[in-house]
Chain A
Amino acid sequence: MDTVYIEKEVASHGKTTQICARYPKARQVLIDRYSDVFNSRAQNFREQKKNPCLILANKSGNRVHETPPGYHIGGQHNYYFSHMLNCVYDCRYCFLQGMYQSANYVVFVNTDDFFQDIKLTVKKHTDPSWFFSGYDCDSLALDPITHFVDDCVELFSKLDNARLELRTKSTQIRPLLKRVAQPNIVVAYSLSPQAIVATEEHGTPSLAKRIEALKALQTQGWNIGLRFDPLLYADNFEHLYGEMFEQVFAALDMRRVHSVSLGVFRLPKGFHKQLVRLYPDARLLAAPMQLHDGMVSYPEQTEKHMREFCMSRLSTAIEPEQFFPCS
């Protein structure tokens, strides 16, 4: 990290000091609001991705949000929170590049405020509330810098009526392996066939490494989740995904997997347009796509075929109650 922007409000925050200590040679720039840098116009996401900056900020206002309909793994009350904006990985299909102008990483250092809001949200319901981290970022990828996982696991270990999903592609699982597995936390990995990882998921750990991490977590008693989302179309789709399922089924105890979800590639129209502008020759954009209800995705028949193929393979390894389709 060559440049760290620091909101004046959090300049003396303990977490700011701790993070800055990791980058003693970085340029430090004091700013009024993170949005001055992050949301400013004339930024180029693709170019910034080559040399992103870190922005340390305070998150005010709403910190815990309800998830969109259909975003759940069986819970009644579903919320997400983002202690960070943007992701260290560079996946071509990622909606973040359509959502944000900037590829810089924003880390909100006021985690205690997030935790306070989570506690208040839990109190609203008598039955368990689910919290999803990893909606606007990867939950684990920047953990060596943020130490978010330690704090978060500590909090949820004391919240019996709360469930947490940490969604990731990262293999930074040491903080989890150091701890006793928590029954109310699910570590969920996004998985894709290795050929797709290599072409479309730049900078991410290989499929084999992710499976290895899942196996280590499962062995230690952690709940694990598998997220086959997004499924990308290819003419050799069945071969690619069939092979991946075999690898996953061979490595993991599938009956003990907490939850499995899958979703076909889809992007809101505006985000898709931005993706085309940024990466017009991305391979995934060469597939036939259609616009339905403001979302760009594959033609209905293609989508149906992709879903059915994956579900038929998954049904050989998991029970229906483990499965949650994405919409």
Chain B
Amino acid sequence: MNPVCIITALPAESRVFIDALRLRHVQDCGWRLYARDHYRLLQTGLGKLKAAAATSTLLHAQPDISAIVNVGVAGGTHPTGTCLQAHKITDEGTATSWYPHLPPRRLTQGLRSTEVLTLDRMSDQYRTDAVFDMEAAGVMSAATVYLSTDAIQCVKVISDNPDSPVQAFSKRVAIAHMQHTVPHVLEMLRWYEQMEDSSIRQSEIRSLSSQITLEVRHTISEGHQLTRLLHRYRSLTDTVLDVQQLQTLNSATAVRQYLETQLSDVPLTYE
């Protein structure tokens, strides 16, 4: 199963997920990463720049991560403790916007959607049509380089509003508010896990291809041809090829010819 990752900014935002998923700190310099099984939690630090840098580093280092959920506290006009998912994320500084492709509504019952406006500094000029945070746009700008918008979600919980301004914010209060996000985020993670992973078959072919190219030298173009032939073989026979046979061949041309001969014997039919 491909890893799924929660991205937070602050320790107070991470705590509830570290406990809920029994995550362990991964000893590695340069970032705060927690993991167990296929779960990851990245704690980026405050602000969109740190969020973007950490997200980018993680997704570059672990390209098998299939989905991320950015979770954290936000300011808005809703009552504190209200959980919201982002249908639009805007970087206030550049006016760039992203639209996450939201999961089915049945999975996010009781979770209203909103625009998340990422600010460069904290603000108490609350708006009714958006909530404020400081990381979502950074996460989006970095994550969309690696993942599509259906694989990136953002859940925020209101921690400050006109009645309870940001000055009253404390770690203890934040942890209490974050607790509300846990069921929603875990539901999203479960959804990503259960989704028919269209990339599984593709990653099997990629792995097959690299097993062959490790033993038999292929140029980039020959590598692409090989991948296409492996896909053709898979779609026509619905079986996986015996790689050992191919690994004994001495050139990319020999591999291609072998595969083409094999494929010429397989009829393409619709039944």
Contacts and interface: CB of A to CB of B under 8 A. Distances in A.
Interface string A1-20: 01101000000000000000
Q: Kindly state the interface size class of chain A when it binds its partner.
A: 35 or more
SS of B interface (majority): mixed
Given A29-B88, A42-B148, A193 B101 contact: no
Contacts of B234: 281
B227 to A, nearest CB: 8
B205 A280 contact: yes
A179 interface: no
Contact of B235 (A37, A53, A233, A286): A286
Contact of A29 (B87, B150, B198, B236): B87
A42 B149 contact: yes
A233 B270 CA distance: 10
Interface string B79-99: 000000001100000000111
A280 B144 contact: no
Given A46-B198, A283-B268, A51 B144 contact: no
A42 B149 CA distance: 6
A43 B231 CA distance: 23
A53 B105 CA distance: 11
Interface stretch (A72-80, A147-155, A212-220, A234-242): A234-242
A316 B149 CA distance: 52
Interface in A35-50: 36-37, 40-44, 46-48, 50
Contacts of B236: 283, 286
Given A26-B105, A27-B113, A43-B149, A285 B269 contact: no
A199 interface: yes
A195 interface: yes
B103 A51 contact: yes
Given A27-B87, A47-B151, A193 B103 contact: no
A48 B101 contact: yes
Contacts of B97: 36
Interface in B193-241: 195, 198, 201-202, 205, 227-228, 231-232, 234-236
Nearest to B87: A29
A217 B268 CA distance: 35
A283 B271 CA distance: 12
Nearest to A195: B270
Nearest to B232: A286
A281 B147 contact: no
A236 B270 contact: yes
Contact of A281 (B99, B201, B269): B201
A251 interface: no
Given A27-B105, A29-B88, A37-B99, 8 more contacts: A40-B99, A41-B144, A47-B101, A234-B270, A280-B227, A280-B228, A282-B235, A285-B235
Interface of B: 87-88, 97-99, 101-105, 112-113, 144-145, 147-151, 195, 198, 201-202, 205, 227-228, 231-232, 234-236, 267-271
12 contacts: A2-B105, A29-B113, A31-B88, A42-B147, A42-B149, A47-B101, A195-B271, A196-B270, A232-B270, A240-B270, A280-B205, A280-B227
